[in-house]
Amino acid sequence: MEGALEANGGHGQPPAWSVWWQLARPFSLTASALPVLVGSAVAFYGGRLTSPDLFLAMLLASLLIQAATNMFNEYYDYRQGLDTPESVGIAGSIVRGHVQPIAVFVGAIACFCGALVLGLYIVLRTEPVVLVAGVVSALAGYLYTGGPIPIAYTPLGEVTVFLFMGPVIVGLAYFIQAGSVSSSAIWASIPIGCLVAAILLANNLRDVVADAHIGRRTVVVVLGRPTALGMYILLLAGAFVSTILAVLIGALPVTALLPILTVRTPLRLVRLYRSTLEPRPLNAGVRGSAGLHARYGLLLALGIALGTLIR
């Protein structure tokens, strides 16, 4: 870890804590925190939220896996030559000389180890299947940019994040409280999965030229920008439609409609992506997509929890 510590010593270098904070990509951490909140809210609504310590352990483990995934992303994008000092929208700590590549890799492993310790505590309190789900999630986080065929370099990135950061995390957060699966938790996971996939798709729409240049076969590169933009619109709309349907069939309380307050944000995001192909202005689209996920998820969790007042 010496390379990371040395980053604080050079002239004009940011402090070490700032470097590692950026490597964790804090604006993206809501993508792993919100599914835990939503799954736990469903458990609370059903009267099954009985272990606050398991909730906190699950939340922290999920954040650590996300931070590790982000660090692996930075490390392997650097190794593949995708990141340069002129790249748009990356943490950029390695290419700017703020930290050594091996330090980032070790930091990611350390985050995984922390998540494993928390996962073992959860398993001791619940069921062995939780360990399987946790290990598979961590493996998916590594394989996203690591391994022989990184998922992020294929058209399967959006599907992967939809599944693991939607139904898997939401369902797991519910399961460790209730000891069972729930159709309500699955319904609540769909809008979360749609919006986290939309974050990735927004990123890939921005980076389509750079990705194609290095041979990265994202869904935008494979299907073309117009089709991918249509998918982005469907993901945004899918979040709202699935929530409304869940309320109509009684899977979620009427208060779960609270996220509809964010409906103007998708309209602004779509207008932005239709207005320009330039990567730099589209940074606002990526961050806006992450912000929508955060606000929608918080309001959904709050709305579901408030449902206990009208039961």
Buried residues in 207-219 as b, exposed as e (16+ CB within 10 A): bbebbeeeebebb
Say if CB 1 and CB 107 are below 8 A apart. yes
Distance, CA of 238 to CA of 226 (rounded, Å): 18
Question: How far is the CA of 233 from the CAs of 105, 140, 157, 220, 295, in angstroms?
Answer: 35, 26, 17, 13, 18
- What is the full DSSP assignment across 256-289? GGGGGGGTHHHHHHHHHHHH---TGGGHHHHHHH
* Residue 24 DSSP one-character state: T
pTM of structure: 0.87
Per-residue pLDDT tens listing for the chain (311 residues): 333 333 334 446 777 767 777 777 787 788 889 999 999 999 999 988 888 999 999 999 999 988 888 888 888 777 776 665 555 445 567 776 677 888 888 888 999 899 999 999 999 999 888 889 888 988 888 888 777 888 888 999 999 999 999 999 999 999 999 989 999 999 999 999 999 999 999 999 998 988 888 788 999 999 999 999 999 999 999 999 999 999 999 999 999 999 999 999 999 999 999 998 888 899 999 999 999 999 999 999 999 999 988 77
Residues whose CB is less than 8 angstroms from the CB of residue 279 and which lie 6 or more positions away in sequence, other chains included = 88, 89, 206, 207, 209, 210
CB 152 within 8 A of CB 145: yes
Within 80-144, where are the H helices? 101-125, 129-143
Q: What's the confidence (pLDDT) of residue 8?
A: 38
Count Cβ atoms below 10 Å from residue 185 Cβ, excluding itself: 29
183-206 vs 264-275: helix crossing angle, rounded to 10: 30
Closest C-alpha among 125, 225, 137 to residue 175: 125
